């Protein structure tokens, strides 16, 4: 595949290494410093850019008939607008807050645990995410996905918020520590014990491999898909 990397930072560079190893060609490396490109040169685009750039990049792809893998977080207020445009243009699109196989398994574990804990009101939930200090958004996209899945499965919680321990709210603590690729922890605490599930990324290769596998899967398809479609889990 001829791949356009929209965003050539920490993730763009890791995706490049993995895509080349899998026999693909990188035809565009877009960044703030390199904003001029013709998206039609690519078979598919992989966007890991910045929250304020993602919607413009994705729209440009749909307008030019190029399928898009979107890993950028922090732009989800516009998600419905983007998926509506994809359908209108008969485009192809996958967004995932986290492309790694491990986190997608963790998502399923989190949903199952939330269902099991649903009627046990002696347990209070809390969530923590830890990332590197350059991260622009908080809480992380992955933490938002985890919280939304808990809200769908658990009777008590109707919303999430940063650092807000209210009865119907999942409190998320976001920590920023140099060099941490991404850790997510969900804890149910009672007066007698605690149940904790944790996913810890050791590096960015899992996210990058997942994004390339998703691009290989999406090429030639039309529609809006998720990593559940790609990985066939859950």
Ligand X SMILES: O=C(O)C1=N[C@H](C(=O)O)C[C@H](O)C1
Ligand Y SMILES: NC(=O)C1=CN([C@@H]2O[C@H](COP(=O)(O)OP(=O)(O)OC[C@H]3O[C@@H](n4cnc5c(N)ncnc54)[C@H](OP(=O)(O)O)[C@@H]3O)[C@@H](O)[C@H]2O)C=CC1
Binding-site residues for (S)-2,3,4,5-tetrahydrodipicolinate sit at: 132, 141-142
Tell which positions 9-48 bind ligand Y, by CB under 6 A: 9-12, 30-33, 48
Binding region: 33, 71-73, 96-99, 132, 141-142
Q: How many CB atoms lie within 10 A of CB 52?
A: 11
140 lies in the site for ligand X, by CB under 6 A: yes
Identify the active-site residue in 2, 13, 135, 175: 135
Among 1, 3, 4, 7, binds ligand Y (CB under 6 A): 7
Active-site annotation holds for 184:
no
DSSP bridge partners of 187 = 126, 196
Nearer to ligand Y, 90 or 200 (CB): 200
Give me Rg for the CA atoms of the chain: 18
Q: How many CB atoms lie within 10 A of CB 234?
A: 12
Cα 226 to its chain centre, rounded Å, is: 10
Tell which positions 3-62 bind ligand X, by CB under 6 A: none
How many helices (H) and strands (E) the chain has is answered by 7, 11
Q: Which residue has the tokens 């933490």?
A: 143
91 binds, among ligand Y, ligand X, none (CB under 5 to 8 A by kind): none
What percent of the chain is helix, strand and coil (3-state, nearest 5)? 40, 25, 35
Binding positions for ligand Y, rule: CB under 6 A: 6-12, 30-33, 48-50, 53, 57, 71-74, 96-99, 134, 207
**Would you please indicate which residues are annotated as catalytic (active-site) residues?**
131, 135
């Amino acid at each position: 595949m001829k791949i356009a990397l929209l965003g050539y930072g920490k993730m763009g560079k890791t995706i490049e290494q993995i895509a080349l190893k899998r026999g693909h060609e990188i035809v565009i490396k877009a960044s703030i410093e390199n904003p001029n490109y013709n998206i039609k040169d690519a078979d598919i685009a992989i966007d890991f850019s910045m929250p304020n750039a993602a919607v413009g990049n994705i729209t440009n792809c749909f307008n030019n008939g190029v399928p898009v893998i979107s890993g950028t977080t922090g732009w989800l207020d516009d998600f419905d607008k983007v998926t509506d445009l994809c359908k209108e243009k008969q485009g192809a699109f996958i967004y995932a807050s986290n492309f790694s196989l491990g986190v997608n398994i963790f998502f399923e574990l989190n949903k199952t645990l939330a269902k099991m804990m649903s009627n046990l009101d002696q347990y209070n939930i809390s969530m923590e995410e830890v990332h590197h200090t350059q991260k622009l958004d908080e809480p992380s996209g992955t933490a938002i996905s985890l919280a939304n899945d808990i809200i769908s499965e658990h009777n008590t919680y109707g919303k999430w918020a940063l650092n807000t321990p209210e009865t119907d709210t999942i409190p998320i603590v976001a920590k920023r520590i140099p060099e941490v690729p991404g850790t997510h922890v969900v804890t149910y605490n009672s007066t007698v014990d605690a149940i904790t599930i944790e996913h810890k990324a050791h590096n960015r290769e899992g996210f990058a491999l997942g994004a390339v596998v998703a691009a290989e899967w999406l090429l030639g398809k039309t529609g809006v898909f998720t990593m559940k479609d790609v990985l066939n889990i859950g």
